[in-house]
Amino acid sequence: MIAIPAIDLREGACVQLVGGSYADERVRVKDPMDALKRWRSFGFKTFHVVDLDAALGKGSNEGPIGKLLTHEPGLTFSVGGGVRSMAKAEAVLALGASYVVVGTKAIEDPAWLREVAERFPGRVVVAADVKGREVVTRGWTSGSALDISDVLATLEPLSLGGLLVTAVHKEGQMEGVDLPLMEEVARASRHPLFASGGVTTMEDLRALGRVGAFGAVIGMALYTGKLEATEVAREFA
């Protein structure tokens, strides 16, 4: 399993929010490139970038994203946030992303997702943001009335690059992961699982690896020093 530092963008800065709430911002790095360089210095090679403003329809961080993706060859980036059209998916990949992450539109419009997955086989990661067991959309502000198991069933036939499952109820709280949820997803789906939400300790990472996660996205715990980056990189980078 690999550990993947999160680079969440808001108003051109790299931030960390609790539970996805704009009102509860705990970390702000003015220049996202400083965050990338910091994590690279420990040996991390794979990164997850989210345009929070685009996800909520409040703007775009395309400029900073472009700089991150072209800073150094050989790195792997998954990029999402507000990708709700074929043109936007294509643009993200054209910027240099290894994977484009689609969430709201993918959940609400399965036919569109199928079309995008066929256009870019193996390069589309579906973000399923889960609150309890319900998949939520639109920057975690809207319920879908869909259970995670129902969503997994619809995704199974598609040629995806993976599933990014975020336990919203754990996000940014540094209280541990929703291991039963992640184990269920890993068992139910053939797609690689990228787990997110609540990763706080080395044991969280090891447990995710044991239940079959391909990768774990880490945000708050790395940025606050709760997780020692050197230790994480040594075992999981």
- Active-site residue set: 8, 129
Interatomic CA distance for residues 160 and 163, integer angstroms: 8
Residue 189 makes CB contacts below 8 A (sequence gap 6+) with 152, 155, 156, 163
User: Which stretches of 43-139 are DSSP H helices?
Assistant: 52-55, 62-70, 86-95, 104-108, 110-119
Interatomic CA distance for residues 237 and 143, integer angstroms: 34
Contact 60/30 with Cβ under 8 angstroms?
Answer: no
